[in-house]
């Protein structure tokens, strides 16, 4: 039997990422996107497969820049998004054959989402036009005239977004696009931030829009309302009797009588610890009611990964008879599909196992579901789900990484629950090196801390973790207080108290590592990204138990971060006080305040294009270490990279980052 290969950073080029599964209205075919590395860059194409029979998936598009496939209501066409340097446009392709044809001709800009009308006569498209001075066409003209790039000028606090860049005063607006001519007209332009959720009524006569038109929308989500737009008359009516608070993932029932959405009461936005609940309302009278209020589960408990699509939004699907709803719930490191009656009651689990389940759309009758399923030892693949009364029966469609998994030595995590200092139960995973790994004699271990902080680690494939295990490191990861997936109290425990209950839990995890006989307690490292970088910084400022640390896209100073992150946190909100005249609470929770104690060598990684946690957060860490003559290495990735670079950045830079990590641990954990 051939020896299995160890997993290295270079294997990133051989992993295939699938996503965006879409079942045809008749349930006979399924679309999905396939992303691979080709000629050193990410290449995304659209594939199609039958839901029955032996036929294999086939490639539908070939440009390498295609995504977001959507079936026409009669199953005859597929509309999709094609990207270029001048923005994105919608194309259509006939399923009987032929080349893709460009449908839209928007000015340079960005399309965020689109949906077919139930009649197929038009599409509702969320589009934002790029302000003229910042277009590629304007940039080309400046090359000829030798002019400098223009300054960014704004009078709005909402003018940039990580991964999206600077957009100034431009906002996404809702357009109707004729599916034959491509002509478009604007039907909604009042959303303050430009991020709204919308859906068609079953007849196609109306569109429901969950929108916030308040001037303070960035820090106050209470005014979010549901607007019913009448397509023929163009009239808008606010749905009455709806609770105040954010609303997302709005969905119209097949019988046309009800609307459902994910929401919560209150105005928390940036760092909410509240459970996102499922609301149902009459499509005419409103009277919205949460049907999950008494259930301590969240509709958006995100499980982090660096492979495949991470679904940050809520997922809601109606049954064909409008009596039930399907939702995705994150719990204890898993993501499962659950069913609940429209009138409320208990959540019924329809999937199971140590896995991550997510939904695409469903067929017209609601009986067939497009899905993705992945695990800690298998990157996500495309599945078809047959929805039954008590169970979803799944059938695998794509096998993009099956052979790769068979050929490589995969580390399998084992879960372990430990008790923290104050008797809180903490969910941990221990991923020991595969038998093929070398350098196991020194028993080094690395503690990984997730970002968010209100997300979770779990049964999701992590290429980075597998690289570390293949290099001989035992990898430990956990969900301390502050994580989603363990109830509201667990998540809320660190509100305005970062470095409190979470630090208590991390000390318990450290003690567990020290007591593990397969780990050399004097040969341990700690690392994390975003909030995980925050906690890494906090740990090295409070203990010398780790021989080395890696802080990635970190938070170090909550005072300075208050004014330089893309999402502003309002005064006396999640954090107490403010960052200009009452900074005491934020400074109390800032790791940099304790860097006079640090003796641990640190690798610092950050993207210059990070608009979520600005690179100045890492610059403070590096400066403090060098001024105190502590060993430090600072790796700054270019402006083309963002906060999410480790998950979806350029392949060559992602590999470079992983090699920097491995080199650092080889240097520190001897």
Q: What is the pLDDT of residues 18-38, one digit of tens each?
A: 999 999 999 999 999 999 999
* pLDDT score of 14 more than 60: yes
For residue 331, give the nearest of 294, 306, 303, 309 by alpha carbon. 303
CA 236 from centre of chain: 32
* pLDDT score of 665 more than 60: yes
pLDDT at position 442 is 73
Q: Higher confidence at residue 635 or residue 3?
A: 635
Average pLDDT over residues 567-580: 89
Dist. CA 125–CA 170, nearest whole Å: 16
pLDDT at position 461 is 97
> Taking the model in full, what pTM does it have?
0.96
- CB environment 658-668: b (16+ within 10 A), e (fewer): bebbbebbeeb
Please report the domains of the chain, with CATH numbers, ordered by start residue.
Answer: 298-400 (2.120.10.30), 414-668 (3.40.50.1820)
For residue 653, give the nearest of 668, 636, 665, 666 by alpha carbon. 636
CA 670 from centre of chain: 35
* pLDDT score of 178 more than 60: yes
219-272 pLDDT per residue, tens: 888 899 999 999 999 999 999 999 999 999 999 999 999 999 999 987 665 567
Contact 30, 20 (CB under 8 A): no
For residue 425, give the nearest of 434, 416, 412, 437 by alpha carbon. 416
Dist. CA 62–CA 38, nearest whole Å: 12
Dist. CA 661–CA 665, nearest whole Å: 6
The neighbouring-strand residues paired with 635 are: 605
Average pLDDT over residues 611-626: 98
Kindly indicate the confidence band of residue 573, based on its pLDDT and cuts at 50, 70 and 90: confident
Dist. CA 463–CA 446, nearest whole Å: 15
* pLDDT score of 78 more than 90: yes
Contact 242, 250 (CB under 8 A): no
**Can you give the length of the chain in residues?**
670
pLDDT at position 314 is 86
Dist. CA 564–CA 549, nearest whole Å: 25
Contact 187, 123 (CB under 8 A): no
> Residue 93 corresponds to which tokens in the numbers above?
């392709």
pLDDT at position 268 is 61
514-532 pLDDT per residue, tens: 999 999 999 999 999 999 9
pLDDT at position 87 is 84
pLDDT at position 1 is 58
454-505 pLDDT per residue, tens: 999 999 999 999 999 999 999 999 999 999 999 999 999 999 999 999 999 9
For residue 506, give the nearest of 496, 520, 493 by alpha carbon. 493
Dist. CA 475–CA 527, nearest whole Å: 11
Q: Which of 530, 560, 618, 642 does the annotation list as catalytic?
A: 530
530 included as an active-site residue: yes
**Is residue 210 classed as helix, strand or coil in its secondary structure?**
strand
* pLDDT score of 639 more than 60: yes
76 included as an active-site residue: no
Average pLDDT over residues 7-26: 97
pLDDT at position 569 is 79
184-219 pLDDT per residue, tens: 999 999 999 999 999 999 999 999 999 999 998 888
* pLDDT score of 568 more than 90: no
409-452 pLDDT per residue, tens: 999 999 999 999 989 999 999 999 998 776 566 799 999 999 99
Other CB atoms within a 10 A radius of the CB of residue 619 amount to: 15
Q: Which of 184, 357, 408, 643 does the annotation list as catalytic?
A: 643
Share of the chain above pLDDT 90, in %: 91
């Amino acid at each position: 039997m051939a020896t299995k290969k160890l997993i290295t950073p270079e294997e990133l080029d051989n992993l295939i990422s699938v996503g965006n599964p879409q079942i045809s209205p008749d349930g006979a075919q399924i679309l999905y996107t396939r992303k691979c590395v080709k000629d050193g860059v990410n290449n995304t194409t659209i594939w199609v497969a039958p839901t029955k029979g032996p036929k294999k998936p086939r490639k539908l598009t070939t440009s390498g820049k295609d995504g977001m496939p959507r079936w026409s209501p009669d199953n005859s066409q597929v509309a999709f998004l094609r990207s270029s340097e001048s923005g994105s446009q919608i194309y259509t392709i006939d399923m009987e054959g032929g080349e893709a044809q460009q449908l839209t001709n928007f000015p340079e800009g960005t399309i965020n989402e689109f949906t077919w009308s139930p009649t197929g006569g038009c599409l509702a498209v969320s589009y934002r036009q790029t302000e003229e001075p910042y277009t590629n066409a304007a940039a080309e003209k400046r090359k000829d005239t030798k002019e400098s790039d223009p300054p960014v000028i704004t009078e709005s606090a909402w003018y940039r977004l990580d991964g999206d860049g600077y957009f100034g005063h431009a906002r996404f607006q809702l357009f109707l696009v004729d599916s034959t001519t491509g002509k478009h007209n604007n039907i909604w332009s009042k959303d303050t931030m430009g991020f709204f959720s919308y859906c068609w009524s079953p007849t196609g006569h109306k569109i429901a829009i969950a929108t916030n038109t308040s001037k303070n929308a960035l820090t106050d989500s209470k005014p979010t309302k549901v607007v019913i737009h009448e397509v023929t008359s163009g009239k808008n009516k606010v749905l009455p009797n709806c609770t105040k608070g954010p609303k997302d993932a709005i969905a119209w029932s097949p019988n046309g009588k009800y609307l459902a959405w994910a929401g919560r009461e209150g105005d928390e936005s940036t760092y909410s610890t509240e459970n996102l609940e499922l609301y149902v309302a009459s499509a005419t009278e409103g009277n919205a009611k949460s049907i999950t209020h008494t259930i301590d589960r969240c509709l958006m408990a995100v499980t982090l990964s660096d492979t495949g699509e991470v679904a940050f939004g809520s997922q809601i699907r109606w049954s064909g008879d409008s009596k039930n709803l399907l939702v995705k719930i994150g719990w204890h490191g898993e993501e499962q599909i659950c069913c609940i009656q429209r009138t409320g009651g208990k959540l019924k689990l329809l999937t199971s196992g140590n896995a991550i389940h997510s939904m695409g759309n469903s067929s017209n009758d609601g009986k067939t579901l497009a899905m993705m399923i992945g695990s800690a030892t298998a990157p996500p693949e495309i599945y078809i789900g047959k929805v039954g009364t008590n169970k979803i029966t799944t059938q695998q469609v794509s096998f993009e990484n099956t052979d790769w998994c068979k050929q490589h030595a995969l580390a399998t995590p084992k879960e372990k629950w430990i008790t923290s200092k104050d008797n809180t139960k903490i969910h941990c995973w221990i991923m020991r090196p595969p038998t093929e790994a070398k350098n196991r004699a020194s028993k080094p271990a690395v503690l990984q801390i997730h970002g968010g902080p209100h997300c979770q680690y779990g049964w999701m494939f992590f290429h980075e973790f597998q690289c570390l295990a293949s290099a001989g490191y035992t990898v430990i990861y956990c969900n301390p207080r502050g994580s989603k997936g363990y109830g509201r109290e667990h998540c809320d425990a660190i509100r305005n108290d970062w470095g409190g209950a979470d630090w208590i839990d991390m000390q318990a995890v450290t003690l567990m590592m020290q007591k593990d006989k397969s780990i050399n307690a004097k040969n341990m490292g700690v690392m994390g990204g975003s909030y995980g970088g925050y906690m890494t910084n906090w740990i090295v400022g409070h203990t010398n138990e780790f021989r080395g640390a890696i802080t990635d896209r970190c938070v170090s100073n909550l005072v300075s971060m208050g004014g330089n992150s893309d999402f502003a946190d309002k005064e006396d909100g999640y954090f107490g006080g403010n960052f200009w005249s009452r900074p005491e609470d934020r400074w109390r929770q800032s790791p940099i305040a304790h860097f006079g104690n640090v003796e641990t060598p640190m690798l610092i990684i950050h993207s210059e294009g990070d608009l979520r946690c600005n690179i100045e957060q890492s610059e403070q860490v590096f400066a403090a270490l060098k001024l105190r003559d502590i060993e430090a290495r600072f790796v700054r990735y270019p402006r083309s990279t963002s906060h999410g670079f480790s998950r979806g950045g350029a392949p060559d830079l992602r590999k470079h980052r992983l090699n920097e990590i491995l080199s650092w641990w080889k240097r520190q954990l001897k």
